[in-house]
Amino acid sequence: MSKAWKHFKTITYHKYLVAVGCFKVGLYWQGLTHDLSKYSPTEFLPGARYYQGNRSPNNAEREKKGYSAAWLHHKGRNRHHFEYWVDYSLEGKPGRMAPVPMPDRYIAEMVMDRIAACKVYQGKAYTDASPLAYYNRGTVRAPLHPETREKLERMLRMLAEKGERETFACIRRELVRGRKKRDGSAQEEGRRHKIP
């Protein structure tokens, strides 16, 4: 079987798993549109070329070239990656980069992305603790805004300790429905105090 076909199957299975998780918490559009850029030539061709089956081909491309063109393309188009939410800071030295808070719905999708990636690459070895363990190994010093870090780590700890059912209910309640309530109350507040 060709590496291109294996890569296609891997990214499609990953996309399917993310969609299932997103649907369970009420993020239908994000579930359907998750990672569509992986099918673009800029991402798909390096993905097929560096496909290994047990880890992201972006890592293999990075080892070979010193950077991953596919990853640079991907992170700039997919809001569920915290790297998307880094901007120039207006505080401190000019030109300094700093993380900004991620909207809750993308934190929710990021959790689903991490779960799906671990399920794809770990197979039967996957447990509900796998996403937290992977996070702790690789991104403890990642440029996450403190609010984003707190929410992500809380959800990953809950997943490890209480499982998907309870964690997904919390995500639905706090990150999906809670956001809609906050947005709605802000709009209502704006209508009440509208300046003539």
Task: Please report, for the chain, the start and end positions of each structural domain, with discontinuous segments joined by +.
Answer: 3-35+78-187
pLDDT in tens, 151-173: 999 999 999 999 999 999 999 99
57 within 8 A of 70, measured Cβ to Cβ: yes
Does the structure show a pLDDT above 90 at 140? no
Q: What is the average pLDDT value for the chain, to the nearest integer?
A: 89
For the ranges 100-109, 137-146, 184-193, the lowest mean pLDDT is seen at 184-193
Is residue 139 very low, low, confident or very high in pLDDT (cuts 50, 70, 90)? Answer: low
How high is the pLDDT of residue 93? 74
pTM over 0.85: yes
pLDDT in tens, 67-114: 999 999 999 999 999 999 999 887 777 778 899 999 999 999 999 999
How high is the pLDDT of residue 89? 84
For the ranges 20-24, 86-90, 135-139, the lowest mean pLDDT is seen at 135-139
